Structure 1
């Protein structure tokens, strides 16, 4: 009986939250928390998925084509997408899924599960394409965002699929570049406040895109990727007051992401400088996009008071997690401060090499 173990990490966004769906770049990294999918071939013609941590059992017929999709059914949508690439299941598996990525916390537990599932399917049944981390990531993006018509971007899938610290250029020519294989001093804090991903992203995306379209209607050669902070005043004159924060946030977040890329490209990392840019990025997310909640604010303030160089909310917002960068060796003090400020969990993390098959027998 064939036995396959597929592993996929969580991710944290270092720079570029609410940027990739605008065609702006992102810096993110996979982190050392993961989803583990263990599959043993059976003789029943079904996938029997035992999601241990949430006490759910799912049974999928291997011949099911899913002509209709239920919302957020990524098991189904990925099977549908992969069939187009020649991945056709012909035997069932008993599958056990476990993990230590907090659910609904902004560290992409759902995308990690999806990538672990896709990697398993490709390993088990093959595809008509060269299998690379980028291919697995693309299938994840198509399955989660495109197939379901969701408003998110591709950061989660490519940071988890490719691993390490990556710079993701989200517009043509699309590219994912590994800009680091480690980043010392990372700490994640989980607020325990559930985030509301799809609705929040949809609202912020719609307002930002509307602001951009209004500016384009007045400036024929406007290019969001080339706009600098000093250009804001002339453009904002043409925007209604309610849309200015969304436009300003896009420009400022892009600026801090560009500054961070310069830092990551240097021979040695200046963690203090990266932390300062993180703080600037968070201020935009907090004050302009207003995606934080009181407990997130308290956790970030506590981390900084405990000596962290920088800290920011991660992901769509409205709850979820934060990431901080501390002097290596002093992570435990930041962890304690986050917990004292109300975090339900906090821990140091390492950069992970990305989604992978760890066993095939």
Structure 2
């Protein structure tokens, strides 16, 4: 019987959280935790899904067109999107799904599962398009964000689909550049506090876009990509008080992402400087967007006291995980400090090559 194995890694956002939906750049990387999908062809016309880690099963009729989608049903939305690209299932598979990406932790377990699923479907049933990492990534974005009308951006899908360390320009036309394949001293800390994605992301996005719209009404030629921190001194005067933090966060986070890109483009990385920029980025996420929780703050404080160069919350916020930059060799002591501060897991990670078939 035909067997297909699809692997997709998690990701961590190094710089640019809450920036991609504003058309601002992001620096992210795929990390060495993954979802593995193993599919064996059967003699039926159904996909029999066995999600071992969460003790769930599901049966999907291969002829189902999903005219209506249930919330966050990415198995269905991917099938719907891929049908438009000539991917028509004609035989069933028994599918086993396992992984070691913590669920609901801000390291994109759901997007990794989605891209593993998309790669499987494309491999098993083909498409009319040229299959590239960009194609797989875009199908992931369309399936998760566009089909469901969710407020997220493209960062998760392209950092997982393309792999390595990527600088993503989220404007139209969209583009990305691989800026590295290795980054030593990365540690992930998992808080165990479930992140609150949809509601929190929608609120922050809505307020940020609202603030930018007001500025554009007053300054017709305003370009967020060109805004500098010094511009905040006068631009903030045109905003109601409750929108100022969202606008200030957009400008400052973009600045730190630009500074980080300069560092990543150097032949030898200065991990201490990158860590310092992470700290400044996190201060914006904590103090202006207020997306952290006490356990996240405690983990970051513990990591820094244990000698980490920098640390920041990852993803939409409200819980989830943090990424930490440490001197190579000190990963175990920093991880242990985070666990002592309340983390349910903490471990070193390396940069991954991206979603692929095995």
TM-score (norm. length: structure 2): 1.00
| Aligned counterpart, 1:319 | 319
Structure 2 spans left out of the alignment, 5+ residues: none
| Aligned counterpart, 1:26 | 26
Within 1, Cα distance between the matches of 2:4 and 2:182?
28
Alignment of 1:179 with 2:179, yes or no, is yes
CA positional deviation for 1:287:
0.3
| Aligned counterpart, 1:310 | 310
Alignment of 1:17 with 2:17, yes or no, is yes
Superimposed CA distance per residue, residues 148-190 of structure 1 (whole angstroms, 9 cap, x where no aligned partner): 0000001000000000000000002311110000100000000
Within 2, Cα distance between the matches of 1:93 and 1:234?
60
| Aligned counterpart, 1:153 | 153
TM-score (norm. length: structure 1): 0.99
Structure 1 spans left out of the alignment, 5+ residues: none
Within 2, Cα distance between the matches of 1:173 and 1:40?
39
Within 1, Cα distance between the matches of 2:285 and 2:31?
22
Give the number of aligned pairs: 358
| Aligned counterpart, 1:69 | 69
- Secondary structure of 1:67's counterpart equals coil
Within 1, Cα distance between the matches of 2:189 and 2:75?
28
Within 1, Cα distance between the matches of 2:150 and 2:79?
17
Alignment of 1:188 with 2:177, yes or no, is no
CA positional deviation for 1:234:
1.5
Within 2, Cα distance between the matches of 1:45 and 1:176?
38
Q: CA RMSD in A?
A: 0.4
| Aligned counterpart, 2:128 | 128
| Aligned counterpart, 2:108 | 108
- Secondary structure of 1:237's counterpart equals helix
Within 1, Cα distance between the matches of 2:303 and 2:330?
11
Q: Structure 1 runs of 4+ off > 4 angstroms? A: none
Within 2, Cα distance between the matches of 1:176 and 1:134?
9
Within 1, Cα distance between the matches of 2:7 and 2:350?
16
Superimposed CA distance per residue, residues 41-74 of structure 1 (whole angstroms, 9 cap, x where no aligned partner): 0011000000000000010000000000000000
Superimposed CA distance per residue, residues 267-320 of structure 1 (whole angstroms, 9 cap, x where no aligned partner): 110000000000000000000000000000000000000000000000000000
Within 2, Cα distance between the matches of 1:93 and 1:177?
36
Within 1, Cα distance between the matches of 2:272 and 2:349?
18
Alignment of 1:202 with 2:202, yes or no, is yes
- Secondary structure of 1:38's counterpart equals strand
CA positional deviation for 1:196:
0.9
| Aligned counterpart, 1:247 | 247
